Amino acid sequence: MSKRRDQAGKSVKFSFEFFPPKNAEMDGQLWQTVAQLKSWGPEFVSVTYGAGGTTRDTSLSTVARMIAAEGLATASHLTCVGASREEVLAVVRQFQEVGVERFVALRGDPQGGIGSAYQPPAGGFANAAELTAGLADHGIRDISVSAYPEKHPESRDIDADIDMLKRKVDAGATRAITQFFFDNAVFARYLERVRAAGIEIPILPGILPIQNLAQVKKFAGLCGASVPRFVEDVLGPVDDNPAERALRSAELASRQVRDLIDLGISEFHFYTMNRVPLMEAVLEQSGFSRSLGKETAAA
Protein backbone atom coordinates (compact mmCIF):
# COMPACT_ATOMS: atom_id res chain seq x y z
CA MET A 1 0.00 0.00 0.00
CA SER A 2 1.12 3.56 -0.64
CA LYS A 3 2.45 5.02 2.56
CA ARG A 4 4.86 7.46 4.00
CA ARG A 5 6.58 6.96 7.33
CA ASP A 6 6.98 9.62 9.96
CA GLN A 7 10.23 10.34 11.77
CA ALA A 8 9.56 7.47 14.21
CA GLY A 9 9.04 5.05 11.33
CA LYS A 10 5.26 4.87 11.83
CA SER A 11 3.18 4.25 8.72
CA VAL A 12 1.16 7.30 7.63
CA LYS A 13 -2.22 6.44 6.08
CA PHE A 14 -4.81 8.36 4.11
CA SER A 15 -8.30 8.08 2.65
CA PHE A 16 -10.22 9.91 -0.08
CA GLU A 17 -13.70 11.43 -0.31
CA PHE A 18 -15.62 11.44 -3.60
CA PHE A 19 -19.09 12.69 -4.48
CA PRO A 20 -21.64 11.05 -6.82
CA PRO A 21 -21.73 12.43 -10.39
CA LYS A 22 -24.64 14.63 -11.45
CA ASN A 23 -24.35 14.08 -15.20
CA ALA A 24 -22.51 12.03 -17.84
CA GLU A 25 -19.55 14.41 -18.02
CA MET A 26 -19.08 14.36 -14.25
CA ASP A 27 -19.48 10.58 -14.29
CA GLY A 28 -16.51 10.25 -16.63
CA GLN A 29 -14.47 12.64 -14.51
CA LEU A 30 -15.23 10.70 -11.33
CA TRP A 31 -14.14 7.32 -12.66
CA GLN A 32 -11.01 8.74 -14.27
CA THR A 33 -10.17 10.26 -10.89
CA VAL A 34 -10.86 7.00 -9.07
CA ALA A 35 -8.75 5.00 -11.53
CA GLN A 36 -5.76 7.26 -10.98
CA LEU A 37 -6.07 7.80 -7.24
CA LYS A 38 -6.70 4.14 -6.33
CA SER A 39 -3.12 3.39 -7.37
CA TRP A 40 -1.98 5.40 -4.35
CA GLY A 41 -3.41 2.71 -2.06
CA PRO A 42 -5.89 4.56 0.17
CA GLU A 43 -6.98 2.84 3.37
CA PHE A 44 -10.58 3.47 2.32
CA VAL A 45 -12.69 5.87 0.30
CA SER A 46 -15.98 7.53 1.14
CA VAL A 47 -18.87 8.64 -1.06
CA THR A 48 -21.10 11.52 -0.06
CA TYR A 49 -24.87 11.38 0.29
CA GLY A 50 -26.94 14.48 -0.47
CA ALA A 51 -28.96 16.43 2.06
CA GLY A 52 -32.11 14.51 2.81
CA GLY A 53 -30.79 11.62 0.74
CA THR A 54 -31.18 13.57 -2.50
CA THR A 55 -28.36 11.62 -4.17
CA ARG A 56 -29.22 8.25 -2.62
CA ASP A 57 -29.64 6.37 -5.90
CA THR A 58 -26.44 7.72 -7.44
CA SER A 59 -24.61 7.22 -4.13
CA LEU A 60 -25.76 3.61 -4.11
CA SER A 61 -24.66 2.91 -7.67
CA THR A 62 -21.37 4.72 -7.05
CA VAL A 63 -20.43 2.76 -3.93
CA ALA A 64 -21.51 -0.48 -5.61
CA ARG A 65 -19.05 0.15 -8.44
CA MET A 66 -16.33 1.30 -6.03
CA ILE A 67 -16.57 -2.07 -4.28
CA ALA A 68 -17.35 -4.50 -7.11
CA ALA A 69 -15.39 -3.03 -10.02
CA GLU A 70 -12.68 -0.96 -8.34
CA GLY A 71 -12.05 -3.22 -5.33
CA LEU A 72 -11.95 -0.29 -2.90
CA ALA A 73 -12.89 -0.42 0.78
CA THR A 74 -15.78 2.02 0.58
CA ALA A 75 -17.76 3.90 3.21
CA SER A 76 -21.08 5.49 2.34
CA HIS A 77 -22.09 8.74 3.94
CA LEU A 78 -25.51 8.49 5.59
CA THR A 79 -27.79 11.26 6.85
CA CYS A 80 -30.99 11.11 8.84
CA VAL A 81 -32.70 14.35 7.78
CA GLY A 82 -36.36 13.99 6.88
CA ALA A 83 -36.58 10.24 7.46
CA SER A 84 -37.86 7.91 10.15
CA ARG A 85 -35.57 5.41 11.83
CA GLU A 86 -37.13 2.62 9.81
CA GLU A 87 -36.55 4.49 6.56
CA VAL A 88 -32.91 5.16 7.43
CA LEU A 89 -32.25 1.54 8.34
CA ALA A 90 -33.96 0.43 5.12
CA VAL A 91 -31.38 2.54 3.26
CA VAL A 92 -28.62 0.92 5.30
CA ARG A 93 -29.82 -2.51 4.23
CA GLN A 94 -29.82 -1.38 0.58
CA PHE A 95 -26.19 -0.37 0.89
CA GLN A 96 -25.30 -3.57 2.70
CA GLU A 97 -26.73 -5.55 -0.20
CA VAL A 98 -24.05 -4.09 -2.50
CA GLY A 99 -21.28 -4.81 0.00
CA VAL A 100 -21.12 -1.67 2.15
CA GLU A 101 -20.16 -2.30 5.77
CA ARG A 102 -18.62 1.11 6.48
CA PHE A 103 -20.64 4.26 7.03
CA VAL A 104 -19.99 7.93 7.74
CA ALA A 105 -22.82 8.89 10.09
CA LEU A 106 -23.96 12.50 9.68
CA ARG A 107 -27.09 14.27 10.81
CA GLY A 108 -27.20 16.30 7.61
CA ASP A 109 -28.13 19.91 6.89
CA PRO A 110 -31.55 21.18 7.99
CA GLN A 111 -34.21 20.75 5.33
CA GLY A 112 -34.61 24.52 5.24
CA GLY A 113 -30.93 24.88 4.35
CA ILE A 114 -27.82 25.81 6.30
CA GLY A 115 -28.68 28.42 8.91
CA SER A 116 -32.25 27.25 9.48
CA ALA A 117 -33.33 25.36 12.60
CA TYR A 118 -33.10 21.57 12.47
CA GLN A 119 -36.34 19.76 13.25
CA PRO A 120 -36.02 16.00 13.77
CA PRO A 121 -38.74 14.09 11.91
CA ALA A 122 -41.34 12.21 13.94
CA GLY A 123 -39.84 8.87 14.84
CA GLY A 124 -36.48 9.84 13.38
CA PHE A 125 -32.95 10.15 14.71
CA ALA A 126 -32.52 13.47 16.48
CA ASN A 127 -28.80 13.82 15.80
CA ALA A 128 -25.67 12.04 14.61
CA ALA A 129 -25.12 10.39 18.00
CA GLU A 130 -28.51 8.68 17.76
CA LEU A 131 -27.81 7.72 14.14
CA THR A 132 -24.46 6.24 15.19
CA ALA A 133 -26.18 4.22 17.91
CA GLY A 134 -28.74 3.02 15.38
CA LEU A 135 -25.99 1.84 13.04
CA ALA A 136 -24.14 0.11 15.88
CA ASP A 137 -27.32 -1.63 17.04
CA HIS A 138 -27.81 -2.75 13.42
CA GLY A 139 -24.44 -4.47 13.56
CA ILE A 140 -22.24 -1.92 11.78
CA ARG A 141 -18.76 -1.94 13.29
CA ASP A 142 -16.97 0.66 11.15
CA ILE A 143 -18.59 4.05 11.74
CA SER A 144 -16.95 7.37 11.00
CA VAL A 145 -18.39 10.61 12.34
CA SER A 146 -17.65 14.29 11.83
CA ALA A 147 -15.55 16.56 14.04
CA TYR A 148 -15.19 20.33 13.96
CA PRO A 149 -11.88 21.96 14.95
CA GLU A 150 -13.58 25.36 14.76
CA LYS A 151 -16.93 24.22 16.22
CA HIS A 152 -20.07 23.23 14.38
CA PRO A 153 -22.00 26.42 13.54
CA GLU A 154 -25.02 25.19 15.51
CA SER A 155 -23.08 24.30 18.67
CA ARG A 156 -23.32 26.63 21.65
CA ASP A 157 -19.56 26.55 22.20
CA ILE A 158 -16.57 24.26 21.71
CA ASP A 159 -17.28 22.37 24.94
CA ALA A 160 -20.79 21.50 23.77
CA ASP A 161 -19.37 20.49 20.42
CA ILE A 162 -16.81 18.14 21.98
CA ASP A 163 -19.54 16.74 24.23
CA MET A 164 -21.50 15.81 21.11
CA LEU A 165 -18.42 14.11 19.67
CA LYS A 166 -18.08 12.12 22.91
CA ARG A 167 -21.72 11.08 22.63
CA LYS A 168 -21.03 9.81 19.12
CA VAL A 169 -18.01 7.87 20.36
CA ASP A 170 -19.99 6.37 23.24
CA ALA A 171 -22.66 5.36 20.70
CA GLY A 172 -20.15 3.37 18.65
CA ALA A 173 -18.11 5.69 16.41
CA THR A 174 -14.73 4.21 15.47
CA ARG A 175 -13.09 7.30 13.95
CA ALA A 176 -13.80 10.99 13.40
CA ILE A 177 -13.06 12.97 10.24
CA THR A 178 -12.73 16.71 10.66
CA GLN A 179 -14.23 19.54 8.73
CA PHE A 180 -11.53 21.11 6.56
CA PHE A 181 -9.22 23.61 8.19
CA PHE A 182 -6.07 25.41 7.06
CA ASP A 183 -4.38 26.47 10.29
CA ASN A 184 -2.69 23.51 11.97
CA ALA A 185 -2.54 25.35 15.30
CA VAL A 186 -6.37 25.27 15.33
CA PHE A 187 -6.32 21.50 14.87
CA ALA A 188 -3.62 20.99 17.52
CA ARG A 189 -5.62 22.94 20.12
CA TYR A 190 -8.77 21.04 19.21
CA LEU A 191 -7.07 17.65 19.43
CA GLU A 192 -5.65 18.52 22.84
CA ARG A 193 -9.13 19.32 24.13
CA VAL A 194 -10.61 16.19 22.55
CA ARG A 195 -8.02 13.96 24.22
CA ALA A 196 -8.50 15.79 27.53
CA ALA A 197 -12.20 14.89 27.28
CA GLY A 198 -11.27 11.21 27.19
CA ILE A 199 -11.93 10.71 23.47
CA GLU A 200 -9.35 8.27 22.13
CA ILE A 201 -10.59 7.27 18.66
CA PRO A 202 -8.51 8.38 15.65
CA ILE A 203 -9.22 11.97 14.62
CA LEU A 204 -8.42 12.28 10.91
CA PRO A 205 -7.63 15.81 9.69
CA GLY A 206 -9.80 16.69 6.70
CA ILE A 207 -7.48 18.21 4.09
CA LEU A 208 -8.96 20.29 1.29
CA PRO A 209 -6.60 21.27 -1.54
CA ILE A 210 -8.05 24.55 -2.80
CA GLN A 211 -9.30 24.44 -6.38
CA ASN A 212 -11.19 27.74 -6.19
CA LEU A 213 -10.51 30.23 -3.39
CA ALA A 214 -13.77 32.15 -3.75
CA GLN A 215 -15.84 28.97 -3.53
CA VAL A 216 -13.91 27.73 -0.51
CA LYS A 217 -14.38 31.06 1.29
CA LYS A 218 -18.10 30.94 0.61
CA PHE A 219 -18.44 27.37 1.84
CA ALA A 220 -16.26 28.07 4.88
CA GLY A 221 -18.60 30.88 5.86
CA LEU A 222 -21.54 28.49 5.79
CA CYS A 223 -19.96 25.67 7.77
CA GLY A 224 -18.11 27.62 10.43
CA ALA A 225 -14.58 27.13 9.09
CA SER A 226 -12.13 29.95 8.53
CA VAL A 227 -9.78 30.82 5.70
CA PRO A 228 -6.68 32.38 7.27
CA ARG A 229 -5.11 35.50 5.89
CA PHE A 230 -1.98 33.62 4.85
CA VAL A 231 -4.06 31.45 2.49
CA GLU A 232 -5.55 34.52 0.83
CA ASP A 233 -2.13 36.14 0.61
CA VAL A 234 -0.73 33.09 -1.20
CA LEU A 235 -3.63 32.35 -3.56
CA GLY A 236 -5.35 35.70 -4.00
CA PRO A 237 -2.69 37.31 -6.25
CA VAL A 238 -2.79 34.35 -8.70
CA ASP A 239 -6.54 33.84 -8.80
CA ASP A 240 -6.57 34.55 -12.55
CA ASN A 241 -3.54 32.33 -13.26
CA PRO A 242 -4.72 28.69 -13.07
CA ALA A 243 -1.28 27.12 -13.49
CA GLU A 244 0.39 29.20 -10.79
CA ARG A 245 -2.67 28.87 -8.54
CA ALA A 246 -2.46 25.07 -8.77
CA LEU A 247 1.25 25.12 -7.89
CA ARG A 248 0.68 27.32 -4.85
CA SER A 249 -2.37 25.37 -3.72
CA ALA A 250 -0.46 22.08 -3.86
CA GLU A 251 2.35 23.57 -1.82
CA LEU A 252 -0.06 24.93 0.79
CA ALA A 253 -1.83 21.59 1.26
CA SER A 254 1.33 19.48 1.20
CA ARG A 255 3.03 21.75 3.72
CA GLN A 256 -0.01 21.40 5.94
CA VAL A 257 0.24 17.59 5.73
CA ARG A 258 4.00 17.52 6.33
CA ASP A 259 3.69 19.77 9.36
CA LEU A 260 0.90 17.62 10.80
CA ILE A 261 3.03 14.51 10.32
CA ASP A 262 5.80 16.26 12.25
CA LEU A 263 3.23 16.83 15.02
CA GLY A 264 2.59 13.07 15.15
CA ILE A 265 -0.51 12.79 12.98
CA SER A 266 -0.53 9.51 11.06
CA GLU A 267 -3.96 9.40 9.35
CA PHE A 268 -5.45 11.88 6.88
CA HIS A 269 -8.68 12.25 4.90
CA PHE A 270 -8.48 14.14 1.61
CA TYR A 271 -11.45 15.95 0.06
CA THR A 272 -10.64 15.25 -3.60
CA MET A 273 -13.50 17.18 -5.22
CA ASN A 274 -13.32 14.38 -7.85
CA ARG A 275 -10.22 15.96 -9.39
CA VAL A 276 -6.87 14.33 -10.08
CA PRO A 277 -4.01 16.76 -10.90
CA LEU A 278 -4.04 18.86 -7.74
CA MET A 279 -4.67 15.85 -5.51
CA GLU A 280 -1.76 13.91 -6.98
CA ALA A 281 0.52 16.93 -6.65
CA VAL A 282 -0.36 17.17 -2.97
CA LEU A 283 0.36 13.48 -2.39
CA GLU A 284 3.69 13.66 -4.20
CA GLN A 285 4.82 16.79 -2.37
CA SER A 286 3.67 15.34 0.96
CA GLY A 287 6.14 12.48 0.46
CA PHE A 288 3.74 9.65 -0.34
CA SER A 289 4.62 7.10 -2.99
CA ARG A 290 2.28 5.41 -5.42
CA SER A 291 1.31 1.83 -4.61
CA LEU A 292 2.21 -0.78 -7.20
CA GLY A 293 1.08 -3.87 -5.38
CA LYS A 294 3.59 -3.66 -2.56
CA GLU A 295 4.26 -1.31 0.29
CA THR A 296 6.72 1.46 -0.40
CA ALA A 297 7.98 4.28 1.75
CA ALA A 298 9.13 7.64 0.52
CA ALA A 299 12.44 8.89 1.75
Q: Which residues are CB-contacts of 156 (< 8 A; sequence separation ≥ 6)?
A: none
150 catalytically annotated? no
Does pLDDT of 73 surpass 50? yes
Write out pLDDT tens, residues 191-230. 999 999 999 999 999 999 999 999 999 999 988 899 999 9
Helix (H, G, I), strand (E, B) or coil at 204: strand
Q: Which residues are CB-contacts of 278 (< 8 A; sequence separation ≥ 6)?
A: 209, 211, 246, 249, 250
pLDDT, mean over the chain? 91
Rounded Cα–Cα distance for residues 107 and 52 (Å): 9
Domain that holds residue 119: 2-297
- Predicted pLDDT of residue 1: 41
Give the domain CATH number at 270. 3.20.20.220
Cβ pair 100, 139 in contact under 8 A: no
Number of domains forming the structure of the chain: 1
pTM beyond 0.75: yes
- Predicted pLDDT of residue 122: 83
Rounded Cα–Cα distance for residues 178 and 5 (Å): 22
Number of H helices, E strands in the chain: 10, 10
- Predicted pLDDT of residue 295: 36
Write out pLDDT tens, residues 126-156. 999 999 999 999 999 999 999 999 999 989 9
Q: How far is CA 77 from CA 2, 205, 238, 245, in A?
A: 24, 17, 34, 31
Select the more confidently predicted residue: 109 or 155. 155
- For residue 13, give the H/E element and its range: strand 11-18
- Mean pLDDT over 262-279 rounds to 97
Write out pLDDT tens, residues 157-198. 999 999 999 999 999 999 999 999 999 999 999 999 999 999
Write out pLDDT tens, residues 237-258. 999 999 999 999 999 999 999 9
- Predicted pLDDT of residue 233: 98
